[in-house]
Structure 1
Amino acid sequence: MKRNLVAALGGLFAFGLAATAQAQEVDAIVKKLRDTNTITMGIRETLYPYGFLDNDKKPSGYSVEFCQRIIEDIKAELKLPDLKVKYVPVSIQNRQALVANGTVDLECGGTVNTFGRNKQVDFSSVSYVSSSQLLVLKNSGITKYEDLNGKIVAVATGGSSEPDLKKLIAEKGLNIRIQNVDDHAAALISVETRRADAYFSDNGAFYSLIRQSKNPDALTIVGTEYGYAPQGFMVPKLNPTILWIVNHAMAKMFKSGEAETLFNKWFGPFGAQVSPKLKAAWATQSYAE
C-alpha cells in the first residue's frame, strides 16, 4: 500500500514538473516580438548616468544607449527592421519581478549580477563594474585610504558598503570614526557641510550625487576600487536566443571599442576611465566568432 502511494505521489510530482516546464515556453520573447513587433525595455528614470529622462523627457544614459545598440542587433537577427521600443520605468524594488514575469523583455539599468538574482532571471555579459570608493571635497587632502586616519567617514546604514568599510579598517589598521547615514543624499550633505570628511560607498552612486550637488566642481572620487560588483542587463529566463543576441552584440561592442567610447561619453566627464576590472570582464567575454 505504501509503495503504491509513494509511486502515485512520485507520478504526480513528475507530472507537475512537466506541466511547469510546458508553461514556461522557451524563447517566449522571440514569439512575443514577432506577434507584437514591440520590445519592452526597462529603464531607470533618475539613475544618472546609467538611465534617466533628459530635458525632453526621453530615456537617455549609458545603459539606455547600450541597450538601444543591442536592439539594433535584435532587429537584424530576427529580421524585424521596424521593431518598436516601449520604455517601461523600473525601480530597485520592482525591476527583477517585472523581468521575471515577462513584463520587461530587457532591463537596462545598473543591476548587479548575483547568484541569488540568477534564480529568477538571466544576466547579460558585464556592462559595468562598480566598486566602493570615497567621495570627498577636492581640498580635503584625502587621496587614498591611508589619509582617513583620524577622519570621519560617512557610510549608508544597511548597505553593502558598511561591512566593506569595517573590513577595510581592519585590513589597513585605520583609526576612523564612522558616521552612519540613511541614504546617498544625506551623505552628500554631510560631506559638503564638512560634518564628514568622506563618503564610502558604491562609486556608481557618486556620479549622480556630483551632478545634483550645488558645487559639483568641489567634489572628487578617490581611493582604489574596493570590492567587485559586476552589472549586467536582465532578461527573463528560458530565452536563449535573445540572450545570445544580447551577448553577441555586446561582445562586438567590446572588441570594436564602441563600448569604451560609450563609457567615455557618460563617465569621462567625471574623470572616470574604464577600470582594469571592467577591461578584464570585457576581454573575457569577447569570444571569437
Structure 2
Amino acid sequence: MVAMGIGSTTITLAREDVVDFSLPYFLTGTRLLVPRDSPVSSFADIGGKRVGMGSGSTANIKGMDRAIAQGQIKPACQKILFEEHNKGFLALQQGKIDAYFTDASQLAGMRAKAKKPEDWKIVGKYLTYEPYGIILPENQGEWRDFVNKAFIHMLKDGRFEALYTKWFGPDGVVPLPMTDEYKVLLKSLSYPE
C-alpha cells in the first residue's frame, strides 16, 4: 500500500470521494506561457488565438470554458489539447500555438528547462486557483493528522520556507515567486500549539 503521493495534485471534491488529502501545502493557479516578445499580457489578449493546454486537466479546460462563457475572453480562443505539457511547449516554441495554459508551477518548470529561459514569460492573473495536497489513503485519520502536524511544524520553524527558497526562490531550480495569496494560505495554516 502507498502511504502518500506528492506531486502537482489539486485537492478537489471529486478526488476527496476516493482518497484523503493533507492540508494544502502549495497554491498555484492557471496562467499563460508566451514568448518574451508576445503582445499577450492577460487572458483578455488571447481572444481568437490558438492556446494549448493539457488534455488530462479537466479543471483547467473547465476554467477556460467558464472564462469564455463569461466573456472574459472574446472572441473565444481556439483550444488545442496536448497529451503532455512538453509537447505543448514544443508547439509553442515552433509557433504552432500562441500561448500555453496550465498551472503556473508547470509553466515555470517549462520555462526553466528551456534552452533560453529568458525568452519566455508567464502572464495573466490566476484564472483558477489550484491548491495542491499530499494524497493519503482514505479513512486513516491518525496518519493524516501526523502528516498535517509535521507540515505545520515545518511552517512554524522555517524549514518549509527554506525548502521553498531552495527549489523555487530566485536562484532555485524552478524560480517561482510566492504569491500574496499563497503567503496568506501558509500564514493561516500556522495553527497555534
Closer, same or farther in 2 for the Cα pair 1:173/1:133, shift >3 Å?
Answer: closer
Secondary structure, aligned partner of 2:125:
strand
The structure carrying a bigger strand percent of its residues is: 1
Secondary structure, aligned partner of 2:152:
helix
Question: Aligned match of 2:97 in 196, 216, 220?
Answer: 196
Secondary structure, aligned partner of 1:251:
helix
Is contact 1:138-1:220 (8 Å) kept?
yes
CA distance in 1: counterparts of 2:51 and 2:12, whole angstroms: 28
Partner of 2:41 in structure 1? 143
1:240 positional shift: 2.8
What does 1:31-70 align with in structure 2 at a 5 Å threshold? none
Is contact 1:152-1:176 (8 Å) kept?
no
1:163 positional shift: 2.3
Secondary structure, aligned partner of 1:282:
helix
Q: TM-score normalised to the size of structure 1?
A: 0.58
CA distance in 1: counterparts of 2:28 and 2:166, whole angstroms: 17
Closer, same or farther in 2 for the Cα pair 1:129/1:199, shift >3 Å?
Answer: same
Question: Aligned match of 2:167 in 266, 270, 289?
Answer: 266
CA distance in 2: counterparts of 1:198 and 1:284, whole angstroms: 34
1:149 positional shift: 4.0
CA distance in 1: counterparts of 2:82 and 2:73, whole angstroms: 26
Is contact 2:26-2:132 (8 Å) kept?
yes
**CA deviation profile, 1:19-78 (whole Å, cap 9, x unmatched):** xxxxxxxxxxxxxxxxxxxxxxxxxxxxxxxxxxxxxxxxxxxxxxxxxxxxxxxxxxxx
Partner of 1:174 in structure 2? 74
Is contact 1:122-1:235 (8 Å) kept?
yes
The aligned amino acid for 1:110 is S
The structure with the largest alpha-carbon Rg is 1
State the superposition RMSD in angstroms: 2.3
Counting matched residue pairs gives 187
Closer, same or farther in 2 for the Cα pair 1:181/1:114, shift >3 Å?
Answer: closer
Greater relative CO (CA pairs within 8 A, separation 6+): 2
Partner of 1:243 in structure 2? 144
Closer, same or farther in 2 for the Cα pair 1:238/1:153, shift >3 Å?
Answer: closer
Closer, same or farther in 2 for the Cα pair 1:136/1:216, shift >3 Å?
Answer: same
CA distance in 1: counterparts of 2:49 and 2:117, whole angstroms: 22
**Farther-moved stretch of structure 1 (225-234 vs 276-285):** 276-285
Runs of 4+ deviating beyond 6 Å: none
Identity score, percent? 27
Partner of 1:9 in structure 2? none
Unaligned runs of 5+ in 2: none
What does 1:207-246 align with in structure 2 at a 5 Å threshold? 207-246=108-147
CA distance in 2: counterparts of 1:258 and 1:151, whole angstroms: 43
CA distance in 1: counterparts of 2:94 and 2:125, whole angstroms: 24
Q: TM-score normalised to the size of structure 2?
A: 0.82
1:181 positional shift: 2.6
CA distance in 2: counterparts of 1:265 and 1:285, whole angstroms: 21
